[in-house]
């Protein structure tokens, strides 16, 4: 999943567009979904944002669906939690009810309505977030946070973390292949032992890598801060018009329906 | 007739939880919390970020190279959460790494690093969200690490080493799970039984994945700490961790 999102974020049609523009649209849609809180707004946002990702950003539909499905476990479990109500007395307005010992498990119109609300709101907001992460590499988002006056130290930590994630992930994959080739995951006990080895060796690898980086930086005159060249972006005027259209249609839908 | 439908729904719940692909099941998804609750959890978490940030700033001033280690520490937590951990019920789940991180780096630093990890999980693997970052950070980067750290500092040297580490990691996971259930219950109270019933409901649903995970992660953390003591004693001493035999 990490590799997929990262690859498409670097290779889509909106790659060069200013992250402030893409971030503004995504955040605007998320806030509208959460603030207006109408099923129709959520569903329209879902259609708009999936359409934008596929049609304007040229991300394959398959990828968009996979990414949206990544959180389906949380969504499915928690929506079930919203639909089902529990209580000690027999619920009056329940559509269905089932007794488990002294506890009544029931489903009512009200709870179905809440679940529909939350489901549509979540899908709309999540598809807006997915539009952002599928069209914008993390380095651009960090650059956006820097422009928003996030403390320099946090920005530096984020950049280091982003770089280190891929280094460590590569190490992790090599170690996993080596362990699997030696039947390291053949049983529950072996899996536990191999995972522990992986965890501790990864910690050591992280520590040694950070020391190696320190040495390399010191050799090049490291004085306490890491400086990188600023990136240049283009402003997409057509995207502003589309953004205006999205915001207008969502607000109108929330107002009228 | 209606009874049959409920049985079908209950069956579906069990199927999803047991047959699910490895899941980061406790990250509250983007848009799931109403605006007031999203803001509330940001307000609760921000003081921890400020104190943690001050501490990191002090560390970075004293030792400029320490920021490289902190960056790798955050990446380590992120990559650790990509491990597939077999859980005792047979399905698999991802460790949170907060217990181990709190033991190694302390809870305040971990509240900042953990939040960076959560932000990256939202932006790189689409788990969690931006408006729910405050709530997720509070349960996973504040409550979990603090519980782990308190148990670690309270028990180390008094109870046996493996028991201390196991309890710190497992109870940190359990605390995270209870906190997230509470957050969900507060945001969406049950129409029949209110917040308490909702808490029991979400707790019961997520218990199926989270309680086995807590046990697995506890065992894993014990094994990792043991391995670290034998092969990374010098590194552990450089971090000045209290209570580790060297």
- Tens digits of per-residue pLDDT, A35-66? 888 889 999 999 999 999 999 989 999 999 88
Tell me, yes or no, whether B243 lies in a domain: no
Residues of B in contact with A207 (CB under 8 A): 69, 72, 232, 235
Query: Alpha-carbon distance B70 to B105, whole Å?
Result: 9
The verdict on A112 touching B (C-beta cutoff 8 Å) is no
- For A100, list phi and psi in degrees, rounded to 5: -115, 95
Interhelix angle A138-147/A152-181, nearest 10 degrees? 160
Identify the CA nearest to A251 among candidates A48, A18, A113, A112: A48
Which residues have a Cβ under 8 Å from the Cβ of B89 and sit 6 or more positions away?
B18, B208, B212
The verdict on A1 touching B (C-beta cutoff 8 Å) is yes
Q: In the predicted model, is pLDDT for residue B179 greater than 70?
A: yes
Nearest Cβ partner for B126 among A85, A106, A130:
A130
Inspect the interface and report whether the beta carbons of A154 and B53 lie closer than 8 Å: yes
Reported confidence tier of residue B92, pLDDT bands at 50, 70, 90 = low
The verdict on A150 touching B (C-beta cutoff 8 Å) is no
What pLDDT, on a 0 to 100 scale, did the predictor assign at position A25?
A: 93
* Structural domain boundaries, residue B48: 2-238
Identify the CA nearest to B82 among candidates A198, A187, A190: A198
Nearest Cβ partner for A165 among B27, B75, B235:
B75
Q: Where are the domains of chain A?
A: 2-83+112-137+235-256, 151-219
Inspect the interface and report whether the beta carbons of B20 and A73 lie closer than 8 Å: yes
Assigned token pair, A154: 């946090």
| Chain A residue with Cα closest to B101 | A203
Identify the CA nearest to A67 among candidates A117, A14, A2, A22: A2
Domain count of chain B? 1
Query: Alpha-carbon distance B139 to B187, whole Å?
Result: 14
Task: Specify the DSSP class assigned to residue B28.
Answer: P
User: Best mutation site among B68, B90, B207 for testing chain A: the one with the most A CBs within 10 Å?
Assistant: B68
Among A residues 119-138, those touching chain B with beta carbons less than 8 Å apart: 121-126, 128-130, 132-133, 138
Contact B27, B136 (CB under 8 A): yes
Contact A108, A94 (CB under 8 A): yes
SS3 B121: helix
The verdict on A24 touching B (C-beta cutoff 8 Å) is no
Identify the CA nearest to B144 among candidates B241, B217, B69: B217
Reported confidence tier of residue A208, pLDDT bands at 50, 70, 90 = confident
> A178 CA to chain B: closest CA distance, Å?
15
Hunting for tokens 């992120």 — which residue is that? B78
The verdict on A200 touching B (C-beta cutoff 8 Å) is yes
Identify the CA nearest to A245 among candidates A25, A7, A12: A25
The verdict on A79 touching B (C-beta cutoff 8 Å) is no
Residues of A in contact with B56 (CB under 8 A): 153, 157
What is the per-residue pLDDT across A144-157, written as a single tens digit (0 to 9) for each? Answer: 998 898 888 899 89
SS3 B159: strand
What pLDDT, on a 0 to 100 scale, did the predictor assign at position B17?
A: 52
Taking residues B225-241, report their average pLDDT. 76
Max mean pLDDT range (A48-62, A107-121, B74-88):
A48-62
Taking residues A3-15, report their average pLDDT. 89
Query: Alpha-carbon distance A78 to A63, whole Å?
Result: 24
Inspect the interface and report whether the beta carbons of A138 and B120 lie closer than 8 Å: yes
Inspect the interface and report whether the beta carbons of B191 and A164 lie closer than 8 Å: no
Nearest Cβ partner for A118 among B100, B188, B205:
B188
Q: In the predicted model, is pLDDT for residue B245 greater than 60?
A: no
SS3 A183: coil
Print burial letters for B66-102: b (CB count within 10 Å at least 16), e (below 16). Answer: bbbbbbbbbbbbbbbbbbebbbebebbbbbbbbbbbb
Number of CB pairs, chain A paired with chain B, less than 8 A apart: 282
Reported confidence tier of residue A194, pLDDT bands at 50, 70, 90 = confident
Query: Alpha-carbon distance A105 to A87, whole Å?
Result: 7
Tell me, yes or no, whether B184 lies in a domain: yes
In terms of pLDDT, which residue wins out, B174 or B212? B174
Nearest Cβ partner for B127 among A30, A70, A191:
A70
> CATH code at B95?
1.10.1760.20
Identify the CA nearest to B10 among candidates B205, B194, B167: B205
Assigned token pair, A71: 């959180």
Residues of B in contact with A213 (CB under 8 A): 68
Q: In the predicted model, is pLDDT for residue B88 greater than 60?
A: no
Range with the poorest average pLDDT among A158-172, B76-90, B130-144: B76-90
Among A residues 227-246, those touching chain B with beta carbons less than 8 Å apart: none
């Amino acid at each position: 999943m990490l590799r997929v999102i990262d690859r498409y974020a670097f290779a889509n049609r909106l790659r060069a567009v200013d992250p402030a523009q893409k971030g503004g649209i995504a955040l605007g849609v998320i806030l509208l979904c959460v603030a207006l809180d109408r099923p129709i707004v959520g569903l329209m946002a879902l259609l708009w944002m999936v359409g934008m990702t596929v049609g304007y950003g040229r991300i394959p539909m398959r990828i968009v669906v996979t990414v949206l499905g990544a959180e389906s476990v949380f969504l499915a479990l928690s929506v079930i939690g919203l639909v089902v109500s529990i209580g000690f007395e027999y619920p009056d307005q329940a559509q269905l009810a089932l007794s488990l010992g002294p506890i009544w498990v029931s489903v009512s119109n009200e709870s179905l309505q809440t679940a529909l609300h939350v489901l549509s709101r979540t899908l709309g907001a999540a598809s807006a977030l997915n539009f952002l992460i599928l069209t914008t590499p993390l380095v651009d988002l960090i650059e956006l946070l820097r422009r928003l006056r996030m403390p320099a130290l946090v920005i530096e930590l984020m950049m280091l973390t982003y770089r280190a994630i891929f280094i460590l992930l590569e190490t992790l994959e090599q170690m996993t292949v080596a362990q699997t080739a030696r039947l390291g995951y053949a049983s529950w006990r072996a899996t536990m032992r191999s995972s522990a080895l992986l965890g501790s060796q990864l910690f050591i690898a992280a520590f040694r890598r950070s020391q190696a980086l320190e040495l390399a930086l010191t050799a090049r005159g490291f004085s306490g801060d890491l400086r990188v060249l600023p990136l240049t972006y283009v402003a997409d005027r057509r995207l502003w018009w589309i953004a205006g259209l999205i915001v207008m249609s969502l607000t109108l839908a929330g107002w009228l329906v | 007739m209606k009874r049959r439908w409920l049985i079908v729904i209950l069956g579906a719940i069990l199927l999803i939880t047991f047959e699910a692909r490895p899941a980061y099941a406790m990250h509250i998804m983007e848009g799931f919390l109403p605006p007031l609750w999203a803001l509330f959890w940001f307000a609760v978490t921000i003081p921890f970020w400020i104190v943690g940030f001050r501490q990191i700033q002090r560390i970075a001033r004293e030792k400029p190279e320490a920021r490289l280690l902190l960056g790798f520490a955050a990446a380590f937590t992120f990559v650790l959460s990509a491990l597939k951990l077999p859980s005792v019920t047979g399905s698999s789940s991802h460790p949170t790494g907060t217990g181990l991180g709190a033991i190694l780096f302390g809870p305040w630093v971990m509240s900042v690093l953990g939040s960076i990890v959560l932000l990256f999980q939202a932006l790189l693997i689409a788990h969690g969200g931006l408006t729910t970052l405050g709530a997720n950070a509070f349960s996973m980067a504040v409550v979990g690490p603090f519980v782990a750290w308190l148990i670690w500092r309270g028990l180390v040297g008094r109870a046996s080493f493996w028991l201390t580490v196991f309890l710190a990691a497992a109870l940190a996971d359990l605390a995270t799970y209870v906190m997230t259930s509470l957050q969900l219950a507060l945001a969406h109270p049950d129409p029949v039984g209110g917040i308490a019933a909702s808490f029991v409901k979400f707790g019961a649903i997520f218990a199926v994945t989270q309680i086995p995970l807590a046990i697995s992660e506890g065992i894993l953390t014990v094994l990792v700490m043991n391995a670290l003591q034998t092969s990374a004693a010098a590194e552990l001493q450089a971090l000045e961790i209290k209570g580790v035999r060297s």
